[in-house]
Amino acid sequence: MSLPEKIFGPAPKPLHLGISVSNLEESIKWYSETLGFTLAKRADLSAHLRIAIVEYQGFGIELIEVRGSEANPLAWRDPGAQHLRQGVVHFAFEVGDLEATANTLRESGAQFACELTTLKELGIRYFHIFDRDGNLLEFGQRL
């Protein structure tokens, strides 16, 4: 058995992605209305910490509101600037029809960080949008 199989099993699957947000209610609304996620769970863990998980087909985004948290200084900047800070800079969703996805997101009012781009070297075509806190989300299609 390979090391990845020992760690993840035969079919690895992401469980969820955690994002610190400025306003839990507004973030639930944005992920629901813009991307179609549904509220699955929520917890007020203390006066300073509230969490909600929104899901689509078993994949969750854990929205974490911590009172007094600070905005990422690179939020709302172009994707190149976002990558100047080490750590997680974006997450990506693979989609079947990139143009249709872009059109749907435009109709829902999403703010685009970059238009459709092709990186032949990496075998992908993609675009980025910002969530309501300026976090970078990528939508891509393999070439």
- The per-residue b/e assignment along 100-126, b for 16 or more CB within 10 angstroms, e otherwise, is ebbebbeeeebeebeeeeeeeeeebbb
Residue whose C-alpha is closest to residue 134's, from 54, 28, 18, 27: 27
pLDDT reported for residue 7 = 83
E strand or H helix at 116: strand 111-119
E strand or H helix at 123: none
| Token pair 């238009």 in the structure block, residue | 115
pLDDT reported for residue 28 = 98
pLDDT reported for residue 55 = 96
pTM for the structure as a whole: 0.87
From first to last of the 143 residues of the chain, give the pLDDT tens digit. Answer: 888 888 888 877 888 899 999 999 999 999 999 999 999 999 999 999 999 999 999 899 999 999 999 888 777 777 777 777 777 788 899 999 999 999 999 999 999 999 999 999 999 999 999 999 999 999 999 99
pLDDT reported for residue 84 = 74
**Domains in the chain, start-ordered, CATH in brackets?**
1-70 (3.10.180.10), 72-143 (3.10.180.10)
Helix (H, G, I), strand (E, B) or coil at 11: coil
Rounded Cα distance between 34 and 19, Å, is 16
- Helix H, strand E, coil C: the string for 15-82 is CEEEEEECCHHHHHHHHHHHHCCEEEEEEECCCCEEEEEEEECCEEEEEEEECCCCCCCCCCCCHHHH
Residue 87 region by backbone torsions, left for phi larger than 0, else alpha for psi between -120 and 50, else beta: left
Identity at 118, one-letter amino acid code: T
pLDDT reported for residue 71 = 85
Tokens representing 110 are: 């999403």
